[in-house]
């Protein structure tokens, strides 16, 4: 079978299955199977695909058709121009989270020493993006999941920032050393139990603990602000990703503790990031 034919059948199968981006997904899966960059597939499409690779290609297409997340199939995801390994057990970084990284970067001068703390590193996306863009930054990162710590250390190593990324297994601030940070950043679980039931099947293949936060979805913000304020320097700030309906609730939590709040919208015009700065 020619590569071209396999691609056609792949796209057809994913379309039938209702996958929103059948062409992109099929090409990326082929690129993984052949071990060549995506652009090269188009050039090589009149070549034959070997029987083993064909088998592997169609088995991955089938997985995708059954709503297995593309990030887990490919084993990697691009975030803020950085390649990150992802696998089952860690949240696949979302493009919206890049806004959180941008807002934090705006508040870290290029050539000054700063120390930040991330609660819930997952794949390491946020901290690694910050570290790559600020050479004098040091990040502490905690997660309760061993898998997340293992993947984020691997990603930090691949991206050459492991020497400035201190990873700790900790439930929130439990094991965080008694030092003061310039900022605390987090993209905590923020979906309510009720919203979880409505989620698409493929999102449900990602870790429940990375997505859901109690009845209202705002429990983690409260815990992070209350538990974290003593770890912040006098001029320190909190930076969170939020669900699009949560700005008011999180604003209230931050203002209650004396922080000045700014809310930043995503490209869809939804509230997505909230910053709490000391007055
Ligand atoms: N910090 C990671 C991310 O933003 C993980 C977040 C999470 O698992 N809730 O991708």
pLDDT at 124: 98
Query: Does 95 belong to an annotated binding site?
Result: no
| Cα–Cα dist 51/61, whole Å | 15
Residue closest via CA to ligand 1's atom 7 equals 210
* pLDDT for 190 beyond 90: yes
Please work out whether the CB of residue 243 comes within 6 Å of at least one atom of ligand 1.
Answer: no
* Sign of the dihedral defined by the CA atoms of residues 89, 219, 173, 234, in that order: positive
What are 19's two structure tokens? 């996958």
pLDDT at 228: 97
Q: Which domains does the chain have, with CATH numbers?
A: 3-66 (1.10.8), 88-278 (3.40.50.150)
* pLDDT for 279 beyond 80: no
Residue closest via CA to ligand 1's atom 4 equals 187
Per the DSSP assignment, residues forming a β-bridge with 153 are: none
What are 272's two structure tokens? 């997505």
Query: Does 37 belong to an annotated binding site?
Result: no
| Cα–Cα dist 76/151, whole Å | 11
Please work out whether the CB of residue 184 comes within 6 Å of at least one atom of ligand 1.
Answer: no
Q: Are 106 and 150 in contact, with CB atoms under 8 Å apart?
A: no
CA–centroid distance, 15 to ligand 1, in Å, is 29
pLDDT at 95: 95
| Cα–Cα dist 263/270, whole Å | 10
Question: pLDDT, tens digit, for every residue of 125-135?
Answer: 999 999 999 99
Query: Does 122 belong to an annotated binding site?
Result: yes
* Sign of the dihedral defined by the CA atoms of residues 220, 196, 75, 77, in that order: negative
Q: What percent of the chain has pLDDT over 90?
A: 95
More confident residue, 79 or 213: 79
Question: pLDDT, tens digit, for every residue of 32-53?
Answer: 999 999 999 989 899 999 999 9
pLDDT at 215: 83
By most ligand atoms within 8 Å of CB, the mutation choice from 72, 89, 93, 98 for ligand 1 is 93
What is the chain's mean pLDDT, rounded?
Answer: 96
Residue 93 per-residue DSSP state: P
What are 51's two structure tokens? 């029987």
Question: pLDDT, tens digit, for every residue of 56-112?
Answer: 999 999 999 999 999 999 999 999 999 999 999 999 999 999 999 999 999 999 999
């Amino acid at each position: 079978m020619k590569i071209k034919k396999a691609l056609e059948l792949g796209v057809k199968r994913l379309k039938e299955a209702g996958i929103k981006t059948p062409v992109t997904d099929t090409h990326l899966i082929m690129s993984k199977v052949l071990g060549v960059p995506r652009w090269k597939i188009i050039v090589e499409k009149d070549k034959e695909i070997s029987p083993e690779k064909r088998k592997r290609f169609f088995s991955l297409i089938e997985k995708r058709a059954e709503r297995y997340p593309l990030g887990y199939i490919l084993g990697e995801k691009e975030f803020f121009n950085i390649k990150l390994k992802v696998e089952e057990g860690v949240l696949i970084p979302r493009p919206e989270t890049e806004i959180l990284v941008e807002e934090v970067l705006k508040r870290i001068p290029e050539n000054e020493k700063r120390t930040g703390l991330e609660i819930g590193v997952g794949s390491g996306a946020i901290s690694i993006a910050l570290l790559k863009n600020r050479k004098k930054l040091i990040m502490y990162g905690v997660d309760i999941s061993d898998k997340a710590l293992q993947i984020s250390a691997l990603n930090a190593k691949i991206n050459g920032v492991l020497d400035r990324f201190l990873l700790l297994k900790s439930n929130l601030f439990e094991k965080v050393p008694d030092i003061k940070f310039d900022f605390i950043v987090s993209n905590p679980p923020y979906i309510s139990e009720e919203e979880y039931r409505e989620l698409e099947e493929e999102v449900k293949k990602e870790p429940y603990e990375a997505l859901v936060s109690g009845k209202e979805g705002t429990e983690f913000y409260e815990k992070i602000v209350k538990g974290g304020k003593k770890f912040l320097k006098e001029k320190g700030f909190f930076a969170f990703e939020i669900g699009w309906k949560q700005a008011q609730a999180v604003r209230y939590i931050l203002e209650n503790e004396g922080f000045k709040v700014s809310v930043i919208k995503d490209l869809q015009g939804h509230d997505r990031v909230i910053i709490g700065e000391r007055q």
